[in-house]
């Protein structure tokens, strides 16, 4: 190939690289805009829940508490009302936890495994199951959306296992593979009702539905399996090109190398070997 053709190819390659960089910056800006819109919507919902539902329920609890204290101590209904008020306090506490989760803008800006360990440590108290977070393979930087969605999927899986599984051990595995990134959460609890597994959700509960919605946003699916008295397992596999921050660049370099190999022919190899005529060897 002549020098002018090489220069032209170099110019075209630089233009393609510049277009790629501009496109990457544009997509990054779009992603940041989407995340910011999600953050604002979550904060708005949290504010509305706090200012309307939680404040209203708290006011009702206070009024019932005042009314209960006015009843005679020997009145049987007084004890029942106190039990109901204790349950109402638990409902308020759970509601405040949900509001706090909504006001958490995005997953903390750490490595995904560190974020999941932090979420698991929040459940450490007497009587809680042992939670392990394992990393398999070499950790790699993730795209922001993948890091955020997988964090919330893993956090929801841990929360469900702690609250409902009656498990003694919960294992969260994060596997970095050249083909995919896999998140798996399993427990040795009582399992989930087979009807719920078949229907893929439980009426009035949004945890599983939310996890499925997040996996769809990542272009993959949620594998959910459970057996009574054996345990439950959820798994999400994200393609490497979608998951890893540097994954697309490697693919592009591979195809660029292929294109270069077709445009620039390999030089002919010169062999030093010479043909030697067959010689008959006489036995001595």
pLDDT above 80: residue 119:
yes
Averaged pLDDT, 94-108: 67
Averaged pLDDT, 131-141: 94
Q: How do strand 130-136 and strand 169-176 relate by DSSP bridges?
A: parallel
Report the chain's mean pLDDT, rounded to a whole number.
Answer: 78
pLDDT above 50: residue 53:
yes
pLDDT-based confidence at residue 143 (cuts at 50, 70, 90): confident
pLDDT above 60: residue 234:
yes
Residues 182, 239: Cα–Cα separation, whole Å: 9
pLDDT-based confidence at residue 280 (cuts at 50, 70, 90): very low
pLDDT at position 38 is: 75
Of 85, 80, 45, 93, residue with least CA distance to 65: 85
Averaged pLDDT, 74-98: 84
pTM: 0.57
pLDDT at position 27 is: 79
Higher local confidence (pLDDT), 39 or 134? 134
Strand ranges (E), the chain:
130-136, 169-176, 180-187, 222-227, 231-239
Averaged pLDDT, 17-35: 81
pLDDT at position 228 is: 85
pLDDT-based confidence at residue 258 (cuts at 50, 70, 90): very low
Q: What is the 3-state secondary structure (H, E, C) of 145-213?
A: HHHHHHHHHHHHHHHHHHHHCCCCEEEEEEEECCCEEEEEEEECCCCCCHHHHHHCCCCCCCHHHHHHH
What pLDDT, in 10s, does the model give residues 190-201? Answer: 987 666 655 555
């Amino acid at each position: 190939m002549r020098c002018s053709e090489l220069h032209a190819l170099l110019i075209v390659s630089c233009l393609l690289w510049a277009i790629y960089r501009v496109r990457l910056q544009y997509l990054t800006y779009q992603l940041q805009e989407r995340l910011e819109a999600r953050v604002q919507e979550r904060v708005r919902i949290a504010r509305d829940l706090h200012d309307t539902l939680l404040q209203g329920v708290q006011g009702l609890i206070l009024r019932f508490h005042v009314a209960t204290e006015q009843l005679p101590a020997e009145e049987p209904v007084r004890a029942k009302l106190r039990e109901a008020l204790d349950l109402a306090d638990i409902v308020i506490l759970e509601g405040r936890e949900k509001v706090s989760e909504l006001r958490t803008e995005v997953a903390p800006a750490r490595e995904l495994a560190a974020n999941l360990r932090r979420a698991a440590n929040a459940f450490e108290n007497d009587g809680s199951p042992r939670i392990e977070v394992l990393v398999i393979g070499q950790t790699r930087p993730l795209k922001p959306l993948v890091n955020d969605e997988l964090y919330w999927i893993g956090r929801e899986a841990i929360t469900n296992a702690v609250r409902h599984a009656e498990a003694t051990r919960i294992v969260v595995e994060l596997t970095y593979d050249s083909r995919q990134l896999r998140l798996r959460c399993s427990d040795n609890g009582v399992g989930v009702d087979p009807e719920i597994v078949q229907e893929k959700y439980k009426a009035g509960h949004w945890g599983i539905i939310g996890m499925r919605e997040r996996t769809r946003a990542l272009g993959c699916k949620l594998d959910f399996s459970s057996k009574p008295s054996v345990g439950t397992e959820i798994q999400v596999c994200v393609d490497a090109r979608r998951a890893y921050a540097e994954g697309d660049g490697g693919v592009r370099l591979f195809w660029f190398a292929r294109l270069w190999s077709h445009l620039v022919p390999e030089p002919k190899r010169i062999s030093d070997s010479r043909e030697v005529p067959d010689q008959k060897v006489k036995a001595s």
